[in-house]
Homo-oligomer: A and B are copies of this chain.
Amino acid sequence: MHTNSKGLRLDPHGLLKDVAEVIDRETLEPLVGESIVHPRQFTRRSVVALARLSALLETKNVEVDKPLDGKIAITAFFEASTRTRLSFESAMLRLDGKVLSVPDGQVTGIAKGESLADIGEMFNTYGDVVIMRHPDTDSVDRIRQNLQRPLINAGNGSGHHPSQALIDWFALLKWRPQLCTSDCPPDQRVHLGIIGTPGSMRAVKSFLRLSLMFTGAVSKITLISELADPVGLELTEPIEESPIPIEIVNDVQEVIGDLDVVYVNSIAFLGDDYRRMDNRYKLQQSSGLKENAVVMHPLARNDELSVDLDLTNHNLYFAQAAGAVFVRQALLATVLGRLDRISSTGI
């Protein structure tokens, strides 16, 4: 029912079988009532726990239990993004929560004469959780000066977009459940390529942070970028500390034939404007992908991905998008402390 129209279709049951406890409450407990602002708040274990919970939500009709009954989310989008806003709002509504929507905080006057700190104060009595997107990286800290409710960072400038990274890994783990553990059979491990600029683009930066946690499953990461330094300051240490080997190349052709997973988000933020990569970085059927390689993209795709990939089995991006609402359901149910209303029996 809830599946994508084209490309690979992923079965969530693979993540649920042979698992001692489908809902790993012990691992998720520390996230109850917490803000979700940065991928470093997650561990490989909690990423897997959230993916399993998402798979459960995809599999089972939990709506009848009204898990978020009486809870209100505020979606405060100071930078418009219909895709992300509707995805969170759908997640709330599907679990019988409610939504206060600010589709475009920049134009509807919320920012006139109000600091983000004052907006946070206002939100304390309006809702139970705040989902914010904002063009400024420090917006997360500013609103949290007064905000006493959990905040979910849905993108802060060139900062992070943690729920997107969870969505990306939910797709990868559904596609190949063996990646959950560090004793993944060698022939199931993946060589992961990222076409983009993790240093300045939040989606791919958050994805890389999570990917570095999957040792023994990701055999190698190749960054493909035309920039001299696509990595940036924040990622330097996590990359150095990770046992996963990382290389940087600037020619897609050089590596494409060796990649099992290709994550594309080739736009880059330079100075104060966006710059698209050269056409050479656009992926299409003729790009020379490995037979079983999958292509990921956080979408919107702009010109980065040819539609000629849509009907192929390389297309994991539609399945990735199709999982977004379940991941956000899992995150909201966890943060709002309503895991007890979700039963794992009868899947």
Contacting A300 at CB < 8 Å: which of B90, B113, B147, B318?
A: B113
CB-based contact B324/A87 at 8 Å: no
A74 in the interface (beta carbon within 8 A): yes
| Known A-B contacts A5-B148, A72-B90; A80 and B107 likewise in contact (beta carbons under 8 Å) | yes
Q: Which residues of B contact A81 (CB under 8 A)?
A: 109
Q: Which residues of B contact A325 (CB under 8 A)?
A: 125-126
Q: Give A171 to B80 CA distance when docked, in angstroms.
A: 35
Closest B residue by C-beta to A93: B98
Give the interface segment out of A30-38, A114-122, A245-253, A254-262: A114-122
Proximity bits, A126-160, B CB within 8 Å = 1, else 0: 11000000000000000000111000000000000
| Known A-B contacts A5-B146, A70-B63, A98-B93; A86 and B126 likewise in contact (beta carbons under 8 Å) | yes
Q: How far is the CB of A111 from chain B (nearest CB, A)?
A: 9
Q: Which residues of B contact A322 (CB under 8 A)?
A: 124-125
| Known A-B contacts A89-B100, A109-B80; A2 and B125 likewise in contact (beta carbons under 8 Å) | yes
Q: Which residues of B contact A108 (CB under 8 A)?
A: 80, 82, 103-104
Q: Which residues of B contact A121 (CB under 8 A)?
A: 4-6, 318, 321
| Known A-B contacts A124-B5, A146-B6; A82 and B103 likewise in contact (beta carbons under 8 Å) | no
From A103, A126, A299, residue with most partner B Cβ within 10 Å? A126
Q: Which residues of B contact A124 (CB under 8 A)?
A: 2-5, 322
| Copies held by the complex | 3
Chain A, interface size category, equals: 35 or more
Contacting A90 at CB < 8 Å: which of B89, B127, B147?
A: B127
A102 in the interface (beta carbon within 8 A): yes
A292 in the interface (beta carbon within 8 A): no
Q: Give A122 to B105 CA distance when docked, in angstroms.
A: 23
A112 in the interface (beta carbon within 8 A): yes
Proximity bits, A74-92, B CB within 8 Å = 1, else 0: 1000001111001101100
Q: Give A70 to B65 CA distance when docked, in angstroms.
A: 12
Within 8 A of B (CB), among A49-80: 63, 70, 72, 74, 80
CB-based contact A93/B100 at 8 Å: yes
CB-based contact A114/B300 at 8 Å: yes
Proximity bits, A1-36, B CB within 8 Å = 1, else 0: 011111000000000000000000000000000000
CB-based contact B90/A126 at 8 Å: yes
A101 in the interface (beta carbon within 8 A): yes
Q: Give A105 to B81 CA distance when docked, in angstroms.
A: 10
Q: Which residues of B contact A103 (CB under 8 A)?
A: 101-104, 108
Q: Which residues of B contact A299 (CB under 8 A)?
A: 114, 118, 122
Show 25 A/B contacts (Cβ-Cβ < 8 Å), sorted by A. A2-B124, A2-B125, A5-B120, A5-B121, A5-B148, A6-B121, A6-B146, A63-B70, A72-B94, A74-B86, A80-B109, A82-B105, A82-B110, A86-B100, A89-B100, A90-B100, A101-B103, A103-B104, A104-B108, A107-B107, A113-B302, A114-B299, A114-B301, A115-B307, A117-B307
